[in-house]
Structure 1
């Protein structure tokens, strides 16, 4: 009996210890607690606040990072091939070269509970095209002559002429479909309403934007519950926050900071060649910037290598406006007619009476643009031009540049479609002066070539037209290309499924935390 009592007591004590251990494990969040410890929040640090949250009314990468999570397009680009594939669209057909019949997916609702259907697509696209609304990327649908509702889930787009990049245009973030009800009754630039995997929660301007998981999402529900876009103006501060875990990822890592980021424990870094082009642009409607010999002098006097060499591998020197990762690129355009030649620059300056010319370089208060401005300022001084720098925060800068209230400025174009037509047309075609053609460049021959690149369906012929247009713009020099950029992403090792594509875009839909 004594042995039995001892054995029973031992079992009782062991059971008690196991119970206490289990309770302790559950309470402390140990590995045996299932999924309760997996973080469901993610914070992204952005150096600038969004300009707005409506895909119709904005056209900048900072805003697009947010809208890309909230809204969706009819088509999307495959992140690996960059080929368009259906998203909100189910399928499409082209019964003739000017007609696009698009079947939509059914049983999808906007975040406000209203239905996604052909009427919503028609409304969105008509708003994008409406000259009174002055959407900055109205050019995406400029060739579309009519938008018709065939039935509840079929929309028909008719163009005046064939439109080669149609699917690329319908994949663009600024062609995302908005809730007509929300747009009519509210302000989607402040409170966005889409069909995407995340729902707008709050925007404290200058501080942060918060999104919540869309519990009724039409695809599988995202794993991340809360997304915060935190405004952190100083890159060094953002990196420190990444290091301490206050934020989980950053993108567009400046060259001055890439080595520091790569040295951080527990931080992964992605780097790859992208579609972005950065440039020094002239305001072609002001003197002396409308003088080709002044622009040529500046182009000869700018040594882009001096800028690229400071990018620590995050930029490529290539003077072609259409970059290597963009449809329409031809290696023959790698070098321009204005290779760095300071003596030739000085000669043109003196011959045309521009010695001592005062110019102002407008730059957004972002690291890459400030670096460009400082280098160009120094180089212009060397050839006899007195340049000063004016800086502005991002949203104000965009408004000022769009209105043409500047002389020379620095800008970039990420080219979300990776298509040369959707680089040259919005940026340099005269149709878009006053919207996305910040340089106010106008050349009839160039315009015609770009229009042909948009109306031709034969892709090889499109490439030829784009190459011709590219060479012509390089000769006219409304831009001096500073570099073609790399896309970068730095994220905490707990983040899984986060990938940046060559256009610089990333989606939080497939992301999880471990």
Structure 2
């Protein structure tokens, strides 16, 4: 439609020029997002095209509803269209109001949140307290089966005090409330749109970008929200392109077809750094990448088996292959996440192949054929090849099964695997929101894909969530972390250094330690 309008305007301009020798008038966006009148020219038309950017991802989104998804690929798109009550500042990491104006806590189980006024959803309906209540009620409704419902699980009720004031009541004090309300899965949706259409395929938020189309397996296209409450974005259109091969995506960057990629891995780092037109942006981050065990299956539910595998993996050698894009750690809670304590580095089981082989032979694990389920993402594939070889050296028979990202998420949620590799981006940078969704018994069958259950861990994690004293929270998290490390709930492979390759034409690209970025900050020269 935009192309058709442009061609009509251009044709009109040519006709007027033929009659009078003057060019026609058109609207041009200024830096502040307002409009003024200036003459149309072919140079300006070229400039308009330059405000389109393309991002390449190796996987397609699973869905586009913040309520119904729980994966980083989907979140990258969702975060451009939807907004949360609070947000984590990309530079400082501090949590700040976004759709919220301010908040107060009259007691430790009550949150009174004042909302910003005069904001509309993309469908023209108002953002207000009713929309917040509707979103959270829907999110927490068991019939919705939101995969990340644990994020707001402590909420008992949401009340509308007036049009722009919402009151959240919790069953217990919730120390991670602001972090939870800054998570993309807690984004506010349009009630009218959610009732009238499938937001997983036709999203409607309040954010700086609006949904245009989704050609599944190929691309998702967004356009700027000209009425965005913080001012019109500088980038007119954004395409999220599915490019299964990172090498191909880099080639597309070199030819100008792609403007930026993230999730850069070590094998492509030298190529990116050698290109003067591409900047590599890195930051020590919050993601944790781990070797996971299905605790509902034998022998993965046996401590000796997990201990043997932990001894069999040379994680020092593996981290060296990351070329600076990973941090070696024995801890499940990472150095950039609240609740980390360096004492955890002394725990766990370091590389000892002789000990691993002895345990394997004594227990007959070498007579078992194991399935290693791997998503088709470069980093996981790299892990699988290295670890499969190391496990083979100690006598284990491990077969790799590689599958597409969305199918992988379904299979791991259903427990249809023996071993796998996964990551958790830790968008909240809070240890409670790492351990609770991933390792608490309540979340088996949803976000606890490894189906791990430990009563003592459950109690400590619950305690870390039900106090607002941050020192107490840190102590509970440290204790829980020590248990899951020594129990080999996971075998941490590394903690992430988030990295992106950005074409020199892009300005304003920033990442926080979670790897999050915002198109709204971008411009293109």
Q: With the length of structure 1 as denominator, give the TM-score of the two structures.
A: 0.93
Distance (Å, rounded) in 1 between the aligned partners of 2:321 and 2:224: 40
How far apart, CA to CA, are the structure 2 residues paired with 1:35 and 1:51?
34
Give unpaired runs (5+ residues) of structure 2: 1-20, 22-38
One of 221, 227, 233 as aligned partner of 1:216: 227
2:277 & 2:42 partners in 1: Cα distance?
23
Whether the 8 Å contact between 1:359 and 1:388 is mirrored in structure 2 is yes
Matched, 1:69 2:80: yes
Asked if structure 1 preserves the Cα contact closer than 8 Å seen for 2:330 and 2:348, the reply is no
Q: Say if 2:62 and 2:69, in contact at 8 Å, map to a contact too.
A: yes
Aligned 1:382-421 pairs, distance under 5 A: 382-421=393-432
Q: Match for 1:237 among 242, 248, 253? A: 248
1:87 aligns with 2:101: no
Quick one: distance in 1 between partners of 2:95 and 2:326?
26
Return the alpha-carbon distance in structure 1 between the equivalents of residues 48 and 412 of structure 2: 47
Paired position in structure 1 for 2:162: 151
After superposition, residues 429-444 of structure 1 pair within 5 angstroms as 429-444=440-455
Q: Equivalent residue of 1:446, what SS? A: helix
SS in 2 for 1:298: helix
Offset at residue 83 of structure 1 (A): 1.8
Q: 2 CA distance for matches of 1:110 and 1:166?
A: 24
Tell me the alpha carbon deviations over residues 467-502 of structure 1, each in whole angstroms, 9 at most, x when there is no partner: 100000011112100011111111111111111110
Task: Please state if 1:497 is matched with 2:499.
Answer: no
2:204 — aligned with what?
193
Give, in whole Å, the separation in 1 of the partners of 2:85 and 2:504.
33
- 3-state secondary structure, aligned to 1:258: helix
Which whole-Å CA distance do the structure 1 matches of 2:96 and 2:450 have between them? 33
Structure 2 SS opposite 1:509: helix
Aligned to 2:12: none
Shift in Å, 1:151: 1.0
CA displacement at 1:334 relative to structure 2? 1.7
- What residue ranges of structure 1 are gaps of 5+ in the alignment? 1-18, 20-24
Find the aligned partners of 1:430 and 1:255 in 2 and give their Cα distance: 35
Equivalent residue for 1:325, pick from 326, 336, 352: 336
Correspondence for 1:246 among 246, 257, 261: 257
* Cα distance per residue 1:257-297 (max 9 Å; x no partner): 01101111211111110100000110000111111111111
Q: Is 1:99 the equivalent of 2:85?
A: no
Question: What is the DSSP-based 3-state SS (H/G/I as helix, E as strand, rest coil) of the residue aligned with 1:425?
Answer: helix
- State whether residues 45 and 249 of structure 1, in contact with CA within 8 Å, keep that contact through their aligned partners in structure 2: yes
Q: Kindly state the Cα deviation for residue 397 of structure 1 after the two structures are TM-superposed.
A: 0.4
Q: 1:35: how far off?
A: 9.7
1:340 matched to which residue of 2?
351
Q: Which among 436, 443, 451 is matched to residue 425 of structure 1?
A: 436
Contact 1:306 1:375 in 2 (8 A): no
Q: Offset at 1:38? A: 7.8
Higher mean alpha-carbon deviation, 443-452 vs 34-43, is at 34-43
Deviation of 1:380 after TM superposition, in Å, equals 1.0
Q: CA deviation at 1:353?
A: 2.2
Structure 1 window deviating more from structure 2 (301-310 vs 178-187): it is 301-310
Q: Distance in 2 between matches of 1:282 and 1:34?
A: 55
Report SS of the residue matched to 1:43: strand
Task: State yes or no: 1:42 paired with 2:53.
Answer: yes
Whether 1:119 and 2:148 are equivalent positions in the alignment is: no
Report the equivalent of 1:8. Answer: none
For residues 504 and 337 of structure 2, what CA distance do their matches in structure 1 show?
A: 31
Alignment-derived partner of residue 16 in structure 1: none
Aligned equivalents of 1:216, 1:337: Cα separation in 2: 53
1:160 aligns with 2:171: yes
Taking the aligned partners of 1:272 and 1:132, their CA distance within structure 2 comes to 39
2:274 aligns with 263
The structure with the larger Rg is 1
TM norm structure 2 = 0.91
Alpha-carbon RMSD:
1.6
The correspondence of residues 7-18 of structure 1 with structure 2, limited to 5 A, is none
